[in-house]
Structure 1
């Protein structure tokens, strides 16, 4: 299950995210949509980077029964900008960032691994017929 918190004025249907989520894990997650100013605060607080970013993942440190996997925070401002830049829909870009953040919750880390994150992301992009994601675009 996805515990969805939308802190924006946009109406978002996350039913497709539930399908992807259920394919990846039985554990619950939290998905929070924010604007750039809020994600910038979180990025500074947790990563010491004082700028907005597209997606942040916060995996829970302990794997205990019935505990959620963690939280994903996505900036809708980034989603809007990248969707326009790459000429695809808002929902497609949001889905790409959801997948990217979700894989981080599952332990994938493109900054440290040997391409496993990119490979899994590519697999999901093809499975769900999505446009290329940031990690794939940059590889």
Structure 2
């Protein structure tokens, strides 16, 4: 299920002014590359990625703001800063298995997509895949590169660019273990 934070501005201030139509006024619109993808598109990708990860159960994705994700990060992880994606795994017993929830900051995703030169939709998909791997039990902060290798394979399968773990490795903040395919 895809949820949109009501405080999320679907048409951010990074507008492009289009020339005026004859007899009309100039228009302002968000560049296509930076528009928030619709729920149907994201739900389809979520199903495909969840299947590739082999994660069973319902996953909810909240597309939210930097302010809201900062609040969640502070409340649940004790880190008082905005981040790009948060994962909330669950083992709720019941007739329908719930795998967990993801929260993605569209503000941060937009900045990262601009830095990487791809669309906002692509960046949100990269973040969703990363979050799904966390829901499946992977943890790049404590494993020996298993999550990095799995993410790399799945990104290729799902036709996505560099993932989060690879990016941090390229910036020099972390090292991929040997045999990671890099």
TM-score, scaled to structure 2: 0.70
Greater fraction of residues in helix: 1
Gaps of 5+ in 1: none
State the match for 1:92 in structure 2.
Answer: 122
Q: 1:103 aligns with which of 133, 137, 157?
A: 133
State the match for 2:48 in structure 1.
Answer: 19
Question: How many Å apart are 1:134 and its aligned residue?
Answer: 1.7
RMSD: 1.5
State whether residues 54 and 97 of structure 1, in contact with CA within 8 Å, keep that contact through their aligned partners in structure 2: yes
TM-score, scaled to structure 1: 0.91
Q: Distance in 2 between matches of 1:51 and 1:37?
A: 9
Q: Distance in 1 between matches of 2:155 and 2:161?
A: 7
Question: How many Å apart are 1:87 and its aligned residue?
Answer: 0.7
How many residues are aligned here? 137
Q: 1:125 aligns with which of 155, 175, 178?
A: 155
Gaps of 5+ in 2: 11-35, 170-182
CA separation of 1:96 and 1:11: change in aligned 2, threshold 3 A:
closer
Q: Point out 4+ residue stretches in structure 1 off by more than 3 angstroms.
A: 61-65
State the match for 2:64 in structure 1.
Answer: 34
Bigger CA radius of gyration: 2
